[in-house]
Amino acid sequence: MKTILVASQNPVKAQAALGGFQRMFPEEEFALRTLTVPSGVADQPFSSDETLQGAIQRAEAARQIDPAADYWVGIEGGVEIHEDELGAFAWIAILADGLEGKARTGTFYLPPAVAELIRQGKELGEADDIVFQQRNSKQKNGAIGILTGDVIDRAQLYEQAVILALVPFKNQDLYST
């Protein structure tokens, strides 16, 4: 059994990581553990680069804390301004076996009321809770779940990117240097 260490105790991120590993490696059995580590970036990253840096730093911090795991996963949500609109997305970084896998989720654009609260310094989850009168939505369906009526929730959005980040591990002979 291989151990996945997710650098967050958010159940949505844990579910997405485990689901992605199970779909990519259905013949394997996994034990999932979570821990809280700092991202080393702003609480609400405001660019793709900063968000990716946060995901990588989370995975690396998890590896430092527990080097016995088989995989270390960092998931970081971020926002970015594009033509006066605020897009939301996440980066996933997975470390193991001398390999690193990275992938970004799809981007969706936030309603102006949510975007304005983020511009004022609130995190996306907090802004969602205010605008949509929710409680702790970032540990549930997230903005994407709220906006799509749960056609896609936060775990599903992240799981696809986990799968994409696992491509180097599924094809180690092509990615090993």
pLDDT in tens, 31-59: 999 999 988 898 889 999 999 999 999 99
State residue 93's pLDDT score: 98
Tell me, yes or no, whether 97 lies in a domain.
yes
State residue 32's pLDDT score: 97
Tell me, yes or no, whether 74 lies in a domain.
yes
- pLDDT-based confidence at residue 134 (cuts at 50, 70, 90): confident
Tell me, yes or no, whether 148 lies in a domain.
no
Q: For residue 21, give its domain range.
A: 2-107+153-175
Instruction: Please check whether residue 95 is in contact with residue 146, taking contact to mean a CB–CB distance below 8 angstroms.
Output: no
Query: Any idea how long the chain is?
Result: 177
CATH number for the domain including 93? 3.90.950.10
Tell me, yes or no, whether 62 lies in a domain.
yes
Q: Report whether pLDDT(137) > 80.
A: no
| Number of domains into which the chain is organized | 1
State residue 79's pLDDT score: 96
